[in-house]
Amino acid sequence: MDLDNYLLKNSKEEEISSIVKSLADAAIKISNIIRSIKPQESISNNDRKLNSDGDIQKPLDIISDEILIDFLKKSPAAGYASEEQEGYIDFKNNNNFIVFADPLDGSSNIDVNVSIGTIFSIMSKNNLSLEKAFIQNGTHQKSSGFFVYGPQTTLFVTVGAGTALFGLDETQGKFILIRDNIVIPEKTNEFAINAAYRRFWDGATLKYVTECQSGESGPRKKNFGMRWVGSLVADASRIFIRGGVFLYPSDAREKYKYGRLRLTYEANPIAFLVEQANGEATDGHKKILKLEVKELHQRSPLIFGSKEEVLEYKKSYSSL
Ligand code: P6P
């Protein structure tokens, strides 16, 4: 089954299917561009600016954002917001759906040939002004997903009927279903965190990670492994396929005291996919999808993956 037929079978709204297909066509174009550049080439271009995160915008971030806008303008989307845009873009039509995107997440990995990706979320305007529609919480998502530009180009997507995995068939230029109704294993012995920031962690994170590292002789009575790619879509892809828990908590660094990842175009789309795959996604206290959105580029702690481990992490706060 290809993506078009999957959407026909599982999506209740033709407009949402059409927007997902536009995003898939944009992703194929982005994938082709990424695969056509030589490693190191992108750092030679000194045409760099800073994005809303203060990160250096590599040309591919900007190019990917522009490609998404070009395709979405011709789709049933009414507006668009992304990490590369200060505010939302109004497509000046009477359509009912809005799109959030991180056009090229993990872009610091472009030059070293590590998997990067495009994350998206689709919401209904719910008859609100665009101003208000773009600050609805994550429960209003109708679809979300992410493309991974790695050894394969893949797509994890949900339209509210479970989470499915597709792979790009380069010859046909189509996304073909690999696995439908993905279920993230409830138990895991693999955690993902950037351990270099240990000195900045709060007590609960320190407790949880230390207990994992203590192995079978410690309170968890089992051994754990650790993975950290440093690219959200790559770490998330592994967790959907074999389980695990991803942790990017808030920490003592001023810039990341509310977490590093962005709620509207990183945490919410991932959380929707995770819940559709029987996983859990939290900020440490509340479900990600229930978090109040105050502004487009709002940061949030993000802990997601195998339900048992995410709940174990949450317990670390109550047992402090
Ligand atoms: P750190 C990439 O820049 C990103 O936004 C996510 O893709 C990734 O999970 C995280 O930041 C990595 O952050 O602090 O380990 O470099």
**Shared-domain flag, residues 95 and 164:** yes
Q: Identify whether residues 148 and 37 lie together within a single domain.
A: yes
Question: Same domain for 194 and 309?
Answer: yes
Nearest to 168 by CA among 15, 68, 311, 29: 29
Strands 77-82 and 97-105, how do they pair?
parallel
Atom of ligand 1 nearest to the CA of 108: 3
Residue 217 Cα, ligand 1 centroid: separation in angstroms? 32
- pLDDT of 45 reads 47
pTM of the model: 0.95
Taking only the tens place, the pLDDT of each residue in 214-250 is 999 999 999 999 999 999 999 999 999 999 999 999 9
Are 124 and 16 in the same domain?
A: yes
140: DSSP letter: G
For ligand 1, what atom is nearest to the CA of residue 261?
5
Given a cut of 50, the residues of the chain with pLDDT beneath it are: 43-45
Do 313 and 247 meet the contact criterion of CB atoms below 8 Å apart? Answer: yes
**Domain boundaries, position 18:** 3-179
Residue 184 within a domain: no
Same domain, 64 and 157: yes
Mark whether 239 and 264 lie in a shared domain: yes
The residue among 4, 54, 101 whose CA lies nearest residue 254 is 54
In this prediction, residue 44 carries a pLDDT of 39
Exposed (0-12), middle (13-18) or buried (19+): which is 192, by Cβ within 10 Å? buried
Query: How many domains in the chain?
Result: 2
Closest CA to 107 of 57, 151, 69, 145: 57
Asked whether residue 53 falls in the same domain as residue 152, the answer is: yes
User: Residue 219 CB: number of other CB atoms within 10 A?
Assistant: 9
Q: Which residue's alpha carbon is nearest to atom 3 within ligand 1?
A: 106
Cα(187)–Cα(19) distance, rounded to whole angstroms? 35
CATH number at residue 246: 3.40.190.80
Find the CATH number of the domain harbouring 38.
3.30.540.10
pLDDT reported for residue 27? 98
Q: What is the pLDDT of residue 39?
A: 58
**Hey, which residues are catalytic here?**
55, 61, 83-84, 102, 104-105, 266
In 3D space, the residue among 316, 312, 240 whose CA is nearest the CA of residue 276 turns out to be: 240
